[in-house]
Structure 1
Amino acid sequence: MSLSTPPPLSSSSQSGIAGYFSRIRVVSLIAIILSGAGLTSYVTLTKELNPNIQIPIVFVTTLLPGTDPEDMEQLVTIPLEDALENLSGVTKATATSQESVSHITLEFVSGTDPDTAKNDVQTALDSVTTLPKDAEKPNIQVLDFQNQPSLILAVTNRNGEQASLEHFADALKETVKDLSGVERVALSYRNEPVIQVAITPETIDTYRLSVPALGASIGSALDNHPSGSLQSTNTKYTLGIEKLADSASDIRSLPLSLGGTIMPLGSIARITERAPPGGTEAFFADRETSPTPAILLSVFKSDTADTRTTVDTVLRTAQSLADQEGGHITLAALFDGGQEISKSFDQLLHDFLLTFFLVFLVLLTFFGFRQSVVAALAIPITFLGTFLVMQLSGLSINFISLFSLLLALGILVDNAIVIVSAVSSRRRIFINEDPMQTTLQVFADYRVVILTTTITTVWAFLPLLLASGIIGEFIKPIPIVVSTALALSALIALFIILPFMAALLAGNIPRRVNILGKVFLTTTVILSLFIFFKGSLFFVPALVASLIALSIILFSFSTVIPRLIAFPRTTNWLAQLATLRANLNLDRIAARYHIFIKNILASKKLRRRTFAMLILFSLFSYVLVPTGYVVNEFFPEDDQSIVYLRLKLPVGTSPEKSRSQAIDFAEKIRLEALANFVVAEIGAKPPTDNSPSTPDTNEILFTLILPDKKDRNETSGALVDRLNRQYASSNEGEISATQISGGPPAGSDITLKLLGSNLETLDKLAKTIQDHLKEKSSVTNISTSLSVKGKLVFVPDTEALAHFGVTTDGLALTLRTLGNGFIAKNDARFDNQKMDIAIALTDDSQGATLSDPERLFVSGSTGMIPLSALGRFILKENPASIDREDGNRVLSVTADVTPGYSVSTESKNLETYVQKNVVFPDGYSFQTGGVNEENTKSVRSILLAMLLSAALIFATMVMQFNSFRKAIIVLLVIPLAVSGVFVIFALFGIPLSFPALIGVLALFGIVVNNSIIMVDKINKNMECMSDLDEAIASGAASRLEPILLTALTTIIGLIPITLSDPIWQGLGGAIIAGLTFSGVAKLFFIPVIYKSWFQNR
């Protein structure tokens, strides 16, 4: 149906809006300025892999050399805990006491300024005065997720020459740290040597040596001693005594007065330069090279530097230096932040272009080419405007913010579609209407609806800002970026797209604008091809072919095509094509839907059946969650490029044995060709271990760098599972394989924390739970946080101490010299090198052994007393570390879930088993932790966000419709959409992950949009129609086209990210599933419930 005369416009339409719409150059200028500012912002925005996460977590580390974990807990950890106990804002306090070191971790309320938290901790610790005098000052650090290396290089010498390797590593460090963009450089496993003064107990007894006095003599010889100044009549001189030793050989010649005889130190002690005791090592091996010593070089970029540029510069410089060494030096990137960013960005840009193409194809199918171009123009302008807001708000371009833009792409075009659809529909009805009048009337009819629907969609995302902890900081760019893009899309649709549509319909676009459009199209195609095919073998052919095709097309538009159109056959074919495209509009479907829904409204029986079907379907879908058909997990597993193997040898294993095992196992991995290369690190732990404890030399970490995904036959998850099964009962030690999961760090899949006071009782409880887990095939890498090692304890005879005049301090000093050595001088300078000077009690050949204590002598008031006369040694078991949480001792049982099983289900099953089968004594309890704890927190945050979102949407609807019932009608579409999510997830086995919950939350705003459009039109019909059924059916049918088109473009726009990345599969899948079901259900639900609630109006 068409009308030759349109209804009169209201006087409000003849306002300044008409003048603005008619000035197309002003509109174009605004679009250009916004795009230019956004483009400038994009160029200047920091590009990084992860978002800038600011979490108020403070670490306190305190050293007390030579102290076992139990003493460390009593002497250091507990006093510090007591001082920090009343600190405000602390949500969680954990502590670990190890040999010689205490770690305390304080997590503050989200939103607390990290620097303020650090200052508060420092103030509290300043009041502690009871720490042992040998304890070092507590070191306070704030967690900084950005303080991570952008590049880690493994540096090796194929000849195995350690001195040459160290020399090259030192030179490389000095060169790299001066490069632009580099903040600092660190070397790992470059053990600085110490000068050891080794003395036997017999020598000490013979010469009646005092170790502290000897240390003071050595320290004094290495220092200059200023002695003031001397002034004569005309001259002033400074006085001083120069240091006696300036090299290791000078120390050997240092004169000592022993029993009235002057003797050089080298005659009574063995002075050597050696690696520090307990030093760690790393080894590198690839498919051609057996394990060789390696030094790891970590490069940290400055805050303002671009990661990719900085990393590329460092790699070129490092390779240039390596090439100068004649091929002996090998460099291998253990982590390349620039490459990781490029891979993530390239994939997202690839998905973006594919999404843009699919959305444009949908527009082209239902609209004309020019209308589709105008509607699609909203996407780049909105994105560029969003970049401007990102720069103003201090956000960076990272994979989360880029993903947010990709998520917004399928949604933001909805406003433009509504505008273009409304203009096209009105033109089909009022064919003779002036284009300016058409656009002004569309503006009058849709401005409130578009702004309202945009606000409701923003309400679905903004509550994500309430998410706390690491996960809250991790996803913070999503609500900011998406909300900004949606708000801009509404303004752009009303004030840029609509005026462009007016100019397009009027046909008065200047020739210069046409030329500019062609230039813009050409540039866009070239840039798109560059991004889409970059790095591909087809890049050059595709670029050349596209440029040729584009030239032909542009030439044809100006010469060939006008001539072709003049032929009658061509005219007929174009007419058929126009008829075919016209038939693709939804008018026929809308007409049939109008009749169908009107019949349902007229029948009470059909209305009840419709209600019953929707309610039964919803109830069925919601039952799928508690019955286990829809599984729940934190973040889905992704195919990674790195796998970690952790080898735990028995506690107390010697460094030599650990070194041998590291080399042997690395060689085994090399021969099995599991990875491109492997790096073995002694005394290291995988990044999946979030505990603050420092591994001992009995723990070895193997980092396997896998081939590209296309070059291997199994995923990283499958490899982890195979390795865990392969080494489940290994004789080499406790071996576990892990990989980093998607999303922020969260710890082991399953963590059960046992709290109590006695470690033996906690250990018994842990072993019961551990035995239960070992019977299950669904879990692997089962371990506890408690490990035991032998402790040699001296039990003094108090009467003997008093008789010989031996103090406990002197006794402790002798034992510490035996165990860790006595540091005579820290950072002694020899030319340009700094080394520590250590005095050690040692055997002539083997160093300190268990036979040495029997030969020790202690200085007493009566002379040198044999240690054996002052007490006895006993060997007892001692925990390697003691963990505490909120003032209680805690022992953790951890495990990883085997691929194919649900983390949440296994955690729940374990929790049920413990509650029913494990008896806890009074004062003992358990808590869950790890991934399950983070999942629980995240679900709680999302549920809170959903409630707030629903409340905000409801309040907005009440203000819009001035009716509670109409607002409830719009809101009831949300549970229908969620029910579709559960059904699709159950059918396809998609886990209900945290990203999926974000998708469900996004549905709140998306599905409400179309409901608002429908209810708004029904309300307007009710004002001018007496027949309620006709008002409802006509209103629903007239909004069928924008509802289906916006849903279709959103669904198609989300397909690329849903299929390309397992992490975001749940988010995209939730929106697609919810829109698919609700898009159909609302077409019946809203008319039926509207009729039921307002039939007696």
Structure 2
Amino acid sequence: MGSLYRYPRLIILLLLLIMVAGSAAITTMPRLEDPHMENRVAFVITRFPGASAARVEALVTEKIERKLREVAEVDDISSSSRVGLSFITIEMKDEVEDVDRVSALLRDKLAELTDLPEGAADPVYDDDRLYSFTAIIGLVWHGESAPNYAILGRHARELDTRLSNIPGTDFVRTFGLPSEEIAVTIDDDMLAAMGMSALDVANRVFAADSKNSAGTLSGEDNRYVISVDGAFDSLERIRTIPISTNADTGIATLGDVAKIERTHRDPPDSLAYLSGDYGVVVAARMLEDNRIDGWMEKVQSMLDSYQATLPENITADIIFDQAQYTHQRLSDLMQNLIYSAFIVIIVLLVTLGWKASFIAGSILPLAALASLAVLNLLGFQIEQMVVTGMIVALGIMVDNAIVVTDEVQGRLLRGERRSQAVARTIRKLWLPLMGSTVTTVIAFMPIILMPGNAGEFVGGISASVIAALITSYIISFTIIAAMAGRVLTRSDPVQDATQGQHHSRTWWRDGVDAKPIRLAFRRSLHWSMNHPRASLLIASALPLMGLLLASTLDEQFFPPADRDQFHIEMTLPAQASIEETRQLVEEVHARLAEDPDLLSAHWYIGQSAAKFYYNLLTNRDGAANYAQAMITATSPAAADRMIGRYQDRLDRAYPHVQTLVRKLEQGPPYNAPVEIRIHGPDIETLRELGEQVRRVMASVPSIIHSSTSLEVGRPEITIVPNERAAATLGIDLRMIADQIRAAVDGASGGSIIEETEDVPVRIRTSNEGRTSLEGLRALELVPGISNREADGSFSSVPLTALARLEVKPSVGSIPRRNGERINTVQGFIPPDILPETAFAEVNKRLDAANFSVPPGYSIDYGGESEERNEAVGKLMAQAGVLGVLMVIAIVLTFNSFRLAAITFASAIQAAGLGLLSLWVFGYPLGFVVIVGLMGLIGLAINASIVILSELKNDPAAMDGDDEAIIHAVMSTGRHIISTTLTTVGGFMPLILSPSSFWPPFAVAIAGGALFTMIVSFYFAPAAFKLMLGRKSQSRQDELASASPDLLSRAGE
């Protein structure tokens, strides 16, 4: 590598290569707000209309779960069996990399299901809910009239098509559009006059929809597929279906006796209420290998042309644009990167002088560009973690360049020839700096090797740092060393003495020479050498204090996001209808609209909101009593003010509603920050245990709302028939259920296929049994065929003549986890309360209440606590193997176990100093802090290796000479101080950032690095001297034991 000094043109070509490759990476790398994570979560949704939660669990959920469990890559299966709906969440193992293959296996298992009950729909496999949408567009209906969803639906489908056709679009989904259907409404009296029931009509309509194949005609020469013409393709076709034949009136068609219209299901499944008007939401997601700014430009261009096709009372507006947040996030981080680089350059100028600072500082753009080129080749995107990794690397990547530049400069000032100074510097430093680089790389390896989404989320930090470390090492020993040899000033001591020349020291040329500080530093080192054991104890005091204080630090998995958005979730009692939820949303929105801090509020009724942030959960399908709002404030500070204010106002105004005003969080998602799960077989016992825990949880002041996942108490109307009376009319219990369902929900009668859509035909009667209990009581039942007149006519029977109606409480939702029934008690907290604090208080009160579960039941914990423990466990899983590799690297660097032990002792103390820094600044201990401590350990090892290598290469120091040890330590002082100050300076923008995410991380590394200088200067040299003393004593003991032998042999 030293030969590069002789080829300046090669240096220029290498510089050009780095600049071109780095610039190309900046131009072509995809840009995202958050890291891309593998989609290891999927959902299976199965509708079973009219079935109770218990029937859904037994007949649908359990069977699907059993089938899914056959796939070995499945880790956890959670489910919720609700009235008419089975919702199953599948989590794959973290080790799964080929997600598409596992998804194909799961789909195959679902296709094998043959024993689902009649009336249950086919299970729908949905694996498109993990990622947030890139653009969310609202189609809003304006005007006094009620929204026409047929028109809105037509325009929404057109917008869906246009978005899908934009290059780079991954997925498009529509929200708030009620299901479309063909409604066939028949008058009860007319049905009775024809001697038919609604089920009879539905069966005839269904029989007229000839979509089935009529077989295949195979001859010797030809093969023909046979079909019967008459499949439903229009409303007119449905109107012409013959329903009954009468000798007097002839053939009656469906159009003669029923009102047939295209409409939307009533009540609707879901609605969208967008800033005070109803509409439809169309959300699109970009492929992760695209640049978000370029893709959004295409979306905006398409939307401009699409607006011209809309009627005056419909507008299409972008209600969420992720590109704005991505640009803001990356701009802030890039600004921090520039500030950090500027601070690093200033530090280098002060400590090294302008020439040396220029050379050492040139590593920053070169290593940054080279790192981006490497990351681009490895398929990374430019997102917040990658950019943060570059900021972290700023203070680290300059270390090698400082050491190399300082060494070359020292040799040149001692009169060595330029080529000789470069060659000897490389020969001396390549191994110890490789050792320090390798150990720092290993320190960051657990992050990038960590499996699962948590590892993928923060892995960009590790990837950036590792790329920067490796490229900076290579560049330092090639380009930087060659530049230093050519640019730095050389002195010739002999010639200067002959000519009487003396170069006076100036700070801007040679760096600051703080003589009083230098003398005081030397005196302190003298004291340390004279009292090595006391020096060890004093240097270890602060790290030990940090390790002891670590147990007093609050714990926080990930801090909340700093964003001008938050969300509101409102859950009404389980029996609430979507109409009641809609009225609540309108009233709440009217209250919130008066707030000057509010920019927009978009509500989703009956389902989860379109995912506008990466860790929001979207698992509330078919929840008529649920609404969620995406709230955008005028600023992040305004959002923080609004959260507490809204929570208080809405709780007081609507005490019967569970209202959660929630700040957006970082890290893996969870349903509630505090969760206690109770496992067991019996629903009633689970309910009682869950209610005990919930009461205790509700007594904790920091818990603002609590709930249980096992919903018991939902009103259910039970029909209790008189079987004997029904049997005399030829009516069995199944006929009663079928006729009531046809009256309440309508009966299916085929479907119209339009392009790729299947629009169902629903036959229903015009009575009021569909909407009120009184109408249900007045429902007329049709007797069996055997009890009708010869001409088919009949006398209907009131339902109340054959049965009584009872309203009973029932189970609204039955949750399960990995095949067991569970009841999860959830606690929700204000944003200024740490989950771990609330969790500890809940556990304390449960212990005080002597809460326990009976045999056959168990308890475990979810929420933030579970996610944190799992993530930290995965992070530390590789620590053992990587620790051994680190030991190997250091032992090979020094060829000494004792020096390696001193290095590792310094590393452990550095971790203690990082924890002490957290305690001083009052930050909690979180996942990103642990990541930072790993990086700090690498930095501490670097400093120890530099000092111990200098001591090991000095024969006098190896003989235990105090002056030699002091001289060696002081000779490394300038670049140790320079590298430490550049590290601290590089993190200053993150430390001073208004964000709540990065300051704890930056304080742990920067504060720990600053304190670690004490360990580097007063622990490592003192330990080195004591090691030599023990080694010398050991040799003397060996010689003493050998002396009698030698004397006796001499006497012989």
Q: TM-score range by the shorter chain?
A: 0.7 to 0.9
Question: Partner residue of 2:915?
Answer: 982
Question: Partner residue of 1:857?
Answer: 781
1:747 counterpart SS class? coil
Question: Partner residue of 2:497?
Answer: none
Question: Partner residue of 1:905?
Answer: 837
Give the letter aligned to residue 185 of structure 2. Answer: A
User: Structure 1 residue 326: deviation in Å?
Assistant: 8.3
For the residues of structure 1 that align with 2:758 and 2:144, how far apart are their CA atoms? 25
Change in CA separation of 1:18 and 1:401 when aligned onto 2, cut-off 3 Å: closer
2:653 counterpart SS class? coil
Mean Cα deviation higher: 679-688 or 1040-1049 = 679-688
User: Structure 1 residue 342: deviation in Å?
Assistant: 0.9
Q: RMSD of the alignment, in Å?
A: 3.3
Change in CA separation of 1:1031 and 1:897 when aligned onto 2, cut-off 3 Å: farther
Residues 784 and 892, structure 1, Cα contact 8 Å, conserved in 2: yes
Change in CA separation of 1:204 and 1:757 when aligned onto 2, cut-off 3 Å: farther
**1:474 maps onto 2:450 in alignment:** no
**1:369 maps onto 2:301 in alignment:** no
Residues 564 and 638, structure 2, Cα contact 8 Å, conserved in 1: no
1:88 counterpart SS class? coil
Alpha-carbon deviations, 1:486-516, whole Å to 9, x = none? 1111011001110111221389xxxxxxxxx
Change in CA separation of 1:417 and 1:583 when aligned onto 2, cut-off 3 Å: closer
Give the letter aligned to residue 771 of structure 1. Answer: R
Candidates 382, 385, 402, aligned match of 1:397: 382
Residues 777 and 898, structure 1, Cα contact 8 Å, conserved in 2: no
1:620-631 pair list within 5 angstroms: 620-626=545-551, 628=552, 630-631=553-554
Change in CA separation of 1:1002 and 1:408 when aligned onto 2, cut-off 3 Å: same
Residues 196 and 837, structure 1, Cα contact 8 Å, conserved in 2: yes
User: Structure 1 residue 141: deviation in Å?
Assistant: 3.8
Give the letter aligned to residue 819 of structure 1. Answer: V
Change in CA separation of 1:761 and 1:486 when aligned onto 2, cut-off 3 Å: same
For the residues of structure 1 that align with 2:1027 and 2:120, how far apart are their CA atoms? 76
For the residues of structure 2 that align with 1:902 and 1:928, how far apart are their CA atoms? 16
User: Structure 1 residue 734: deviation in Å?
Assistant: 2.5
Alpha-carbon deviations, 1:151-175, whole Å to 9, x = none? 0022224325534655554544444
Mean Cα deviation higher: 408-417 or 47-56 = 47-56
Alpha-carbon deviations, 1:184-234, whole Å to 9, x = none? 54332233532212235555444332545422433455558998999xxxx
Question: Partner residue of 2:746?
Answer: 821
For the residues of structure 2 that align with 1:919 and 1:926, how far apart are their CA atoms? 9
Question: Partner residue of 2:1009?
Answer: 1075
Change in CA separation of 1:229 and 1:868 when aligned onto 2, cut-off 3 Å: same
Residues 2 and 478, structure 2, Cα contact 8 Å, conserved in 1: no
Residues 57 and 114, structure 1, Cα contact 8 Å, conserved in 2: no
Question: Partner residue of 2:1036?
Answer: none
Mean Cα deviation higher: 1003-1012 or 32-41 = 32-41
Change in CA separation of 1:239 and 1:409 when aligned onto 2, cut-off 3 Å: closer
Give the letter aligned to residue 617 of structure 2. Answer: N
User: Structure 1 residue 98: deviation in Å?
Assistant: 1.5
For the residues of structure 1 that align with 2:632 and 2:462, how far apart are their CA atoms? 35
Give the letter aligned to residue 455 of structure 1. Answer: V
Give the letter aligned to residue 874 of structure 1. Answer: E
Question: Partner residue of 2:485?
Answer: 502
Question: Partner residue of 1:450?
Answer: 433
Residues 41 and 92, structure 2, Cα contact 8 Å, conserved in 1: yes
Q: Mind listing any 5+ residue stretches in structure 2 that lack a counterpart?
A: 218-222, 491-501, 789-795, 1033-1052
**Count of aligned pairs between the two proteins:** 995
Candidates 420, 437, 442, aligned match of 1:459: 442
User: Structure 1 residue 340: deviation in Å?
Assistant: 1.6
Q: Mind listing any 5+ residue stretches in structure 1 that lack a counterpart?
A: 1-16, 231-235, 508-573
**1:1034 maps onto 2:967 in alignment:** yes
Candidates 501, 505, 525, aligned match of 1:597: 525
Residues 586 and 1041, structure 1, Cα contact 8 Å, conserved in 2: no
Question: Partner residue of 1:150?
Answer: 134
Give the letter aligned to residue 1091 of structure 1. Answer: K
For the residues of structure 1 that align with 2:871 and 2:212, how far apart are their CA atoms? 62
Change in CA separation of 1:827 and 1:405 when aligned onto 2, cut-off 3 Å: farther
Candidates 433, 436, 439, aligned match of 2:422: 439
Candidates 809, 815, 819, aligned match of 1:877: 809
Question: Partner residue of 1:485?
Answer: 468
Mean Cα deviation higher: 351-360 or 716-725 = 716-725
Question: Partner residue of 2:91?
Answer: 107
Alpha-carbon deviations, 1:278-309, whole Å to 9, x = none? 314545565xxxx2212212123345433221
User: Structure 1 residue 124: deviation in Å?
Assistant: 4.3
Change in CA separation of 1:285 and 1:197 when aligned onto 2, cut-off 3 Å: closer
**1:188 maps onto 2:171 in alignment:** no
Change in CA separation of 1:177 and 1:253 when aligned onto 2, cut-off 3 Å: same
For the residues of structure 1 that align with 2:823 and 2:118, how far apart are their CA atoms? 30
User: Structure 1 residue 870: deviation in Å?
Assistant: 4.8
Alpha-carbon deviations, 1:768-803, whole Å to 9, x = none? 222223333322232222334211223344545655
Question: Partner residue of 1:217?
Answer: 204
User: Structure 1 residue 269: deviation in Å?
Assistant: 3.1
Mean Cα deviation higher: 935-944 or 794-803 = 794-803
User: Structure 1 residue 822: deviation in Å?
Assistant: 1.4
User: Structure 1 residue 665: deviation in Å?
Assistant: 1.5
Question: Partner residue of 1:703?
Answer: 630
Candidates 584, 587, 599, aligned match of 1:676: 599
User: Structure 1 residue 1050: deviation in Å?
Assistant: 0.8
Change in CA separation of 1:1049 and 1:245 when aligned onto 2, cut-off 3 Å: closer
Candidates 76, 79, 83, aligned match of 1:92: 76
Candidates 1050, 1054, 1059, aligned match of 2:987: 1054
Change in CA separation of 1:665 and 1:183 when aligned onto 2, cut-off 3 Å: same
Residues 198 and 764, structure 2, Cα contact 8 Å, conserved in 1: no
Change in CA separation of 1:914 and 1:117 when aligned onto 2, cut-off 3 Å: farther
Mean Cα deviation higher: 872-881 or 444-453 = 872-881
Change in CA separation of 1:245 and 1:350 when aligned onto 2, cut-off 3 Å: closer
User: Structure 1 residue 894: deviation in Å?
Assistant: 1.6
2:183 counterpart SS class? strand
Percent identity over paired residues: 22
Question: Partner residue of 1:233?
Answer: none
Change in CA separation of 1:311 and 1:175 when aligned onto 2, cut-off 3 Å: same
Alpha-carbon deviations, 1:726-756, whole Å to 9, x = none? 2334336332211211234233211111222
Give the letter aligned to residue 278 of structure 1. Answer: P
Residues 950 and 971, structure 1, Cα contact 8 Å, conserved in 2: no
Q: Give the TM-score taking structure 2 as reference length.
A: 0.88
**1:269 maps onto 2:201 in alignment:** no
Residues 140 and 274, structure 2, Cα contact 8 Å, conserved in 1: no
User: Structure 1 residue 1015: deviation in Å?
Assistant: 0.8
Change in CA separation of 1:912 and 1:844 when aligned onto 2, cut-off 3 Å: closer
1:823 counterpart SS class? strand
User: Structure 1 residue 1052: deviation in Å?
Assistant: 0.4
2:989 counterpart SS class? helix
Residues 56 and 143, structure 1, Cα contact 8 Å, conserved in 2: no
For the residues of structure 2 that align with 1:885 and 1:832, how far apart are their CA atoms? 36
1:107 counterpart SS class? strand
1:727 counterpart SS class? helix
2:717 counterpart SS class? strand
User: Structure 1 residue 400: deviation in Å?
Assistant: 1.5
Residues 633 and 994, structure 1, Cα contact 8 Å, conserved in 2: yes
For the residues of structure 2 that align with 1:285 and 1:842, how far apart are their CA atoms? 33
Give the letter aligned to residue 840 of structure 1. Answer: R
Question: Partner residue of 1:612?
Answer: 537
Question: Partner residue of 2:762?
Answer: 838
Residues 141 and 314, structure 2, Cα contact 8 Å, conserved in 1: yes
Question: Partner residue of 2:1037?
Answer: none
Residues 181 and 264, structure 2, Cα contact 8 Å, conserved in 1: yes
Residues 409 and 488, structure 2, Cα contact 8 Å, conserved in 1: no
**1:753 maps onto 2:738 in alignment:** no
1:211-290 pair list within 5 angstroms: 211-219=198-206, 221=208, 223=210, 243=230, 247-248=234-235, 251-252=238-239, 254-260=241-247, 261=249, 262-280=251-269, 282=271, 284=273
Give the letter aligned to residue 705 of structure 1. Answer: T
Mean Cα deviation higher: 135-144 or 474-483 = 135-144
Question: Partner residue of 1:5?
Answer: none
For the residues of structure 1 that align with 2:271 and 2:596, how far apart are their CA atoms? 20
**1:1013 maps onto 2:998 in alignment:** no
**1:893 maps onto 2:893 in alignment:** no
1:1091 counterpart SS class? helix
Give the letter aligned to residue 690 of structure 1. Answer: L
Change in CA separation of 1:71 and 1:326 when aligned onto 2, cut-off 3 Å: closer
Question: Partner residue of 2:651?
Answer: 728
